Chain A
Amino acid sequence: MKYLHLIWAALFRRKARTILTLVSIMAAFLLFGMLDAVRTSFNQAGQSANGAQRLQTGSKLSFIQTLPQSLESQIAQVPGVKLVTYANWFGGAYQDPHNQVFSFAVEPNYIDLYPEIEVSPAERKAFDDTRTGVLVGETLAKRFGWKVGDKIPLQSTIFPNRQGSKNWTFDVMGIMHSKDKKAGGFYDQLLLLHWKYFDETTPFNRGTVGWYVTRVTDVNQADRVAKAIDAISANSDHETRTQTEQAATASWMKQLADIGLIVGSIMGAVFFTLLLLSGNTMMQAVRERTSELAVLKTIGFSNHAVLGIVLAESVLLLLLGGVIGLGLASLIIPAVSANSGGMLNLPSVGASSWALGLVLMIVIGLLVGALPALRAMRLNIVDALAGR
């Protein structure tokens, strides 16, 4: 630590070069921060404590196949089941088919299974009492400027109503807030309508439900409960497949894209380039300072101390650039999310990304510093001072 001043002075000996290198390092870690946020959001989707308690039961055949509504009472009787609800995919869009809205037609107790969604008791009651009522997520409401009491037209991209028209009208009865802003972004974009109203209005549903959600009393029993639920309809014409919410979400994300591979390859290319770039800077820095390093040795710095000073310099260079870059990423990501009008919902740079980033900075710093530092350590005082 007592050499910090010395290292700092050495680092900024040539301001222009150091700053140019810092900007490159910054760009690399800015990219790292953003890509790692994407990767984390893919990996962590559905992995909340509440999510672990919920099971999703869908048709074994495929997710588009519906299940009979009569299954609800049978699932409710499975030991270990605390609550059960069901929902249908509504496929809503506002004004333009491209403005897709995550909209589910649900049984009124749906919200009871999702304690991470907050709705004021008055609004909840109003929703329960209104046949055409809907609950709207906070972000979604902001995106389209909806307020409680508004009548909103929605198109369904799947279900026409009895008149054959795709236009449905709903009354906004309440706003849903997610308790955990970081993990629960999805609920803020959700729209919930009454399954009953939905089923009565479209001729295409006929009393079926898309999927069941079950809350178990004990997380450790989840596997047993899942098997018991699937056993109810085994060998019938509507066999089911029950998974924890975590497993179901992870499987979707995996099918969407192999994010780990994409992010890994990009970062591989970026860090390889960075290694070369900052390595070049450090080499130049040490070459220029050959005589200064010789003077250090002359006045009594040991070989190892010189090695340490050069290594520390390169680690400091990487840390400076990297921390600024990651810091920028954590500033930019929320801004991007906010400006995308709810289209993108990225978590900010999390603790794990910071930890991984810091480790990378130190490792790259050591790698980059290794050669110049060894060179500095092996410096022969007489030769160096003579300029040989």
Chain B
Amino acid sequence: MNFLINLALLALVAVVLAAWIALPWQGVLALVVLFAAWMAFTRRGQQAASVTSVGISTLGQRVGSSAVIVVGIAGVVGVLVALLAMGEGYSQTLRNTGTSDTAIVMRGSSASEVMSVLDHDSVTLIPQAPGIAKDAKGQPIASPELVVAANLPLKGGKADDEGSVQVRGVSEQAWAVRPNVKIIEGRNFQPGMRELIVGKGAAKQFAGLEPGRTIRLGSEQWQVVGVFSSGDAMDSEVWGDASAVADTYRRGSSRASVVVRLTDPKAYDAFKAELDGNPQLKVDVSTTLDYFAKQSEGMSKVIRGIGITVGLIMAIGAMFGALNTMFAAVAARAREIATLRAIGFRGLPVVVAVMLETMLLALIGGVIGGLLAWLLFNGYSASTLAAGTVGKLSFELKVTPALLWTGLKWALAIGFIGGLFPAMRAARLPVTTALREL
């Protein structure tokens, strides 16, 4: 009998968890309202409310053991939210880099810009396709760019510690294609000169990237003249004049990609069809939105997977901690609960009271964990070698409301399981035995 009831409970837990994961916030709100109404207006509900208030008022006497639930769950939520925020920050940074009204053209079968080579003929042919926006002078807004990598000393590292940074050789039109890129310090490079401007993320990662300093690229000296900011993946790059970069890297007149601004997102299909249909060109076309979203896919999935795995294992630990505490709490109040049942209270209010108490503690834990993650890690800068680029990509952890919500849902789920079993025990305690117990 006992065994069957436990089995049924486990099945119930599985069903509730599955429903809970799928539940949007509106659903949760509706549940809360329904539950509050039940407590306020039905006889059973009022009983439950009064038993709950007795339980909660004695929480003060059990600070130590209640803290186990709160801190345990705060730990789970904090770590989970921080890890998910890392994945979120990474994919947002890459996704923000692309828009649906700019397109990137690369040589066919290139997985990323740095692997692509477009010869001079293709570079002159591509801007003639229809659908490209024109600037004030009537020139198509198309920016042929060269993407290479450079080894530079890392900030705060040993003398020999070098990292890789992505270097983009650009022309005037690069600014028209990406209006979000702004010089925030110093000035722009001069065409034809060995001058560089650095993204603010790259300036943070690598040593010697301040305006006025010179750095060595291979055997040549380049001067850093400015810092730019874009708020996306470009922040991790270093820009210079395309022909000067091509010279240093012996790339002649070839380029890696052509980035164009389309007249509007709808012009994309015609633009792509034209380039695909041109027998002189062997190129792949995609919107920059697609391109960068695809680049971020793999890594975001990995980070998310790690976050959820770590969160799950920690959640198991916290759940058993909660079970332990609540079983002890129920045992300590066995006589009180038995008395209530002896004077006519039914099992349900007792179950509700124990569960509400646990979930309240879990909620407090979830809020503390989420708050800690937000305080410590929102805007925290991290870096990795991103897929599809050849430099360190710096990004900021983003603790979004959606992630905090996920954290709270986890907290309540742990509280639900941690409270359910002790609550059932409390309700099924034989009244006579419990009363006789010292």
Contacts and interface: CB of A to CB of B under 8 A. Distances in A.
Interface of A: 16-17, 20-21, 23-28, 30-31, 34-35, 59-65, 91, 93, 97-98, 155-158, 160, 164-166, 204, 235-239, 241, 247, 251-252, 254-258, 265-266, 269-270, 272-274, 276-277, 280-281, 283-284
A274 B321 CA distance: 9
A287 to B, nearest CB: 10
Interface in B93-131: 107-112, 114-115, 117
A24 B317 contact: yes
Interface of A is mostly: helix
B218 A64 contact: no
A61 B217 contact: yes
Given A60-B151, A251-B162, A269-B75, 13 more contacts: A24-B320, A27-B314, A34-B313, A91-B111, A164-B282, A236-B219, A251-B163, A255-B163, A274-B317, A277-B72, A277-B317, A280-B64, A280-B68
A276 B71 contact: yes
Q: How large is the interface on B (under 10, 10 to 19, 20 to 34, 35 or more residues)?
A: 35 or more
Pick from A155, A252, A277 the residue with the most CB of B within 10 Å.
Answer: A277
A72 B167 CA distance: 28
A210 to B, nearest CB: 13
A20 B323 contact: yes
5 contacts: A20-B323, A27-B313, A62-B151, A98-B298, A238-B218
Contacts of A27: 313-314, 316-317, 320
A273 B151 contact: no
A27 B321 CA distance: 11
Nearest to A241: B151
Contacts of B72: 24, 273, 276-277
Interface of B: 64-65, 67-68, 71-72, 75, 78-79, 82-83, 107-112, 114-115, 117, 148-151, 160-164, 167, 217-219, 248-250, 282, 298, 310, 313-314, 316-318, 320-321, 323-325, 327-328, 382-385, 390, 392
B317 A62 contact: no
Contact of A24 (B110, B321, B328): B321
B219 A272 contact: no
A270 B324 contact: no
Nearest to B74: A273
B110 A28 contact: no
Contacts of B385: 252, 255-256
B156 to A, nearest CB: 12
Contacts of B317: 23-28, 31, 270, 273-274, 277
B300 to A, nearest CB: 14
Nearest to B327: A16
A144 to B, nearest CB: 19
- The 5 A-B residue pairs with the shortest CB-CB distance, nearest first, are A166-B109, A27-B317, A157-B111, A62-B149, A61-B218
